[in-house]
Amino acid sequence: MRWFNAEGLWLAVLAGFVALSGLACNAGVNLLAVTPPPPTIIVVVATPTALQEIPIPAYDLAEQQIINVYERVSPSVVHITSRAEVFDFWRGVVPSEGSGSGFVLDGDGHIVTNYHVVKNATQVEVLLADGTAYPAQIVGSDPYNDLAVLKIEIAPDLLVPVEIGSSQNLRVGQRVIAIGNPFGLDRTLTTGVVSALKRTIQTDNGQALGEVIQTDAAINPGNSGGPLLDTAGRVVGINTAIESPSGGSVGIGFAIPAETILRVIPELLARGYYPHPWLGFTTYELSYELTPSAAGPDHGLLIVQIENGGPAAEAGLQAAEARREGRRVVFNGGDVIIAVDGHTIKSRDELTILLANQKQVGDLVDLTVVRAGETFTVSVRLGEAPR
């Protein structure tokens, strides 16, 4: 065995011969002719100096991807301040101020945010990434989908519009990135994953908003209206609400999906509002709000009121008659809606979400109706909901 040093690396060379004398002698074979070259074992030990010379990357690939998204998209994220006048029992009408987030939609100065960020605002200001502030006008809003579009007067070359992606191919576990202004801290980045899809949450007006993205990316007050991004930097949702007993992030946040943004925003730009499809009746839920009759279905929506001249009235649907028995209100007759276009309906929320996400004003829908024990189908042309 011989040891030597070469350029800071220790090398140990071990040579040996295989003893095949028993086999060789029995066979009468010349050992020198059949023995293979001796194997060589090399042990390499790196010195501390050699380790220090190995380059270590500053960021791994995942980190670099997030850094790239932030550097590209954060200039598109804006800080929105809204001012309103509210009534106080002791002081009368007093000024109130709120803040949120938004993002640049295009080079024309349109900004997308949540409706609740600018609700009842008498004055709105948009602060860009370079620190300049601009007064903004509300172009359109949709309380149900919690979306609003603002407009600022600015040169197009000073704006960095976002890229609206798609939420249709999102998967639970997919990494997402949120950028916003929580508690007024401009352009804060948080990361997480898609925790669930097609969640249903309640809007400020008490209606059910469906198809919502759930994420564990930290979302706090002030994040509302900011973008939820995929790792390519495309907007897949707009952060709108959290579930929290404390008012701060506990890892349950919700975002309106990109498909809703793509459907609603063009209408807000064109009309100033979104035309919601409407059937023109009021219903109660069987089993939950009303006890089903023995001869009728055990689920569905009982029509208790029909709007004159509305779609349901024109289609010939019938409302139940109400009468009071002591402290109770009892309904007699009336149509029960159990399905829409073959989709079973058990609650108003299911009906609302189906119409909001799959139908438009003017569409023809087939309602499966139970009347006096008979089941049949009625076609109804959807009208536009009163605003």
Residues known to be catalytic? 116, 146, 224
Q: In what order do the strands lie in the sheet with 9-14?
A: 2-6, 9-14, 41-45
Three-state SS letters, the chain: CEEEEECCEEEEEECCCCCCHHHHHHHCCCHHHHCCCCCCEEEEECCHHHHHCCCCCCCCHHHHHHHHHHHHHHHHEEEEEEEEEEEECCCEEEEEEEEEEEEECCCCCEEEECHHHHCCCCEEEEECCCCCEEEEEEEEEECCCCEEEEECCCCHHHCCCCCECCCCCCCCCCEEEEEECHHHCCCEEEEEEEEEEEEEEECCCCCEEEEEEEECCCCCCCCCCCEEECCCCCEEEEEEEECCCCCCCCCCEEEEEHHHHHHHHHHHHHHCCCCCEECCEEEEEECCCECCCCCCCCCCEEEEEECCCCHHHHCCCCCCEEEEECCEEEEECCCEEEEECCEECCCHHHHHHHHHHHCCCCCEEEEEEEECCEEEEEEEECEECCC
